[in-house]
Structure 1
């Protein structure tokens, strides 16, 4: 703001992080270090030690694309899940990156670069129209927000989705420490399976690998792969934290999801023979 005496613009003094934010940063840094000591958070994408067959790929696709992970609007995991219908985008995806006030300039540069690279990767793999955009034109908002940005986050979410349902709002307000990041998606009013908006929330307290892992998993889930499976390997769609970044297996899942032989809203029974055929197709190839 301008100084009344000199007219010089004075930058606001950065505020030190709160005790809560510092505690979260320590927790996630220790967690990342512990996972790495266990040989988890692999960044190699899989190899000869993680083979999978076309049958396994098809089964993993069914589990990840046709089932929900949570009871809607809650943190309760579904126990006896029934299959839903295929969800994906039919309109161009316009990705924006936004930051809470607690995120410094250097971290913003790194996060923006990582989101841009991954956006291009999603576009290449899916063949769908996906590109970065200004925030006012975006329909896929990636928000890096810390504990000290909570009020800013909630206000921004209300701007993005003015008619946000109370369940979604409560999810963000009550994010437990065990939830590293979160994706919310919203569909067309005319088709509940046609995704028209997604919001990804990534904690600003994360260290480097966990931070980038959140970009990969939540943005990929925002494209329509909404579940996790304990059988998926090598995959980020598995809660075991073995892999940090998108694998070749996961690229095949995304390619299958956006194959024109599948239709938005298609049920599992109808889709299964097509899924099995697609699973036998090499990545980037044709059957």
Structure 2
């Protein structure tokens, strides 16, 4: 990755994100509470349909996709990220990986050998030249996905791409999450919590579900109780990758109806 001398926060793009954060906070956005804990089962099932069984890009009706293999997560920094930030970010992602494992009940190991889920923290210049690195470190990534990442607009704060196994019933093969180095600590944590959870199989940002970090309105900066319940349901033993919406939804409705949500 390209070597730069200073942290990305001290750049015009860093100022752009600081202004964005200030604007969202002034409007009551980027909340750091988890929202209400008592949620209607029917509402949760509808949220699951919108977030897990639809796609942000492409087909609106999509099969259920999750990790069937253990997740082996690792972290890579662009040279623009100073050592002090690397320690904080590593600590945050390690902790959050453990939280994802506890919620889902699925193995998520941080720092494992032979990683299949890579988190890259890079600045704008590094992002634009990331193509060769992506092809070398994200097995099966498509040229289209590489272009989407390396041409990510500055208004797009972060991104995750998952690559399915050749047989979709085997789930997700690999994933990469991109976090911009220019972000403030709060915006960076919001990206980490949203994108890493999306890479577990909750891919769709949308306008309806709330309280949710997956809502496009940026009301929440953290994974909410609503989101935790969706992630827990996604990894219920009754479900498996490759299920169509009409197969999965009746089971999801039953899961929420009997879970005491």
| Cα pair distance change 1:107/1:276, threshold 3 Å | same
The aligned residue for residue 10 of structure 1 is none
23, 26, 29: which one aligns with 1:37: 26
Out of 119, 141, 154, the residue aligned to residue 142 of structure 1 is: 119
Query: How far 1:150 sits from its partner (Å)?
Result: 3.0
Per the alignment, residue 101 of structure 2 pairs with 123
Does the CA-based 8 Å contact 1:21-1:148 persist in structure 2?
no
2:254 paired with 1:264: no
Partner deviation per Cα, 1:147-175 (whole Å, 9 max, x = no partner): 13236633321211365322111112211
> Post-superposition shift, 1:178?
1.2
**1:278 equivalent in alignment to 2:261:** no
Contact 2:139 2:174 in 1 (8 A): no
Counterpart CA distance in 2 for 1:146 and 1:111 is 14
Query: Equivalent residue of 1:36, what SS?
Result: helix
Alignment partner of 2:188: what SS? Answer: helix
1:69 & 1:163 partners in 2: Cα distance?
Answer: 20
Q: Secondary structure at the match of 1:123?
A: helix
In 2, distance between residues paired with 1:192 and 1:151?
Answer: 33
CA contact 2:56–2:206 (8 Å) conserved in 1: no
Displacement of 1:111 after TM fit? 0.5
- TM-score, structure 1 as length reference: 0.84
* Rg (Cα) greater in structure: 1
- What is the root-mean-square deviation of aligned Cα atoms in Å? 2.2
Structure-1 residue corresponding to 2:17: 28
Q: Is the 8 A contact 2:138 2:176 kept in 1?
A: no
Cα distance, 1:52 vs structure 2? 3.6
C-alpha spacing 1:133/1:39, structure 2 compared with 1 (3 Å): same
CA deviation map 1:26-60 (0-9, x unaligned):
00011111111111100001138xx6411111000
Residue of 36, 41, 53 corresponding to 1:66: 53
- Unmatched 5+ stretches in structure 2: none
TM-score normalised by length of structure 2: 0.92
2:221 to 237, 244, 252: 244
Alignment partners' CA distance in 2, 1:164 and 1:220: 19
* Superposed displacement of residue 16, structure 1: 4.2
Cα offset, 1:221, TM superposition:
0.5
Aligned residues: 259
Question: CA distance change for structure 1 residues 263 and 21 in 2, over 3 Å: closer, same or farther?
Answer: same
* 3-state DSSP of counterpart to 2:101: helix
Does the alignment pair 1:157 with 2:134? yes
Task: Determine helix, strand or coil for the equivalent of 2:42.
Answer: helix
SS in 1 for 2:15: helix
Shift of 1:280: 2.1
The residue that corresponds to 1:74 in the other structure is: none
> Which consecutive unaligned segments of at least 5 residues does structure 1 have?
1-12, 72-80
Per-residue Cα deviation, 1:199-247 (whole angstroms, up to 9, x for no partner): 0000000001110000011000001111123121110111000000001
Matched, 1:100 2:78: yes
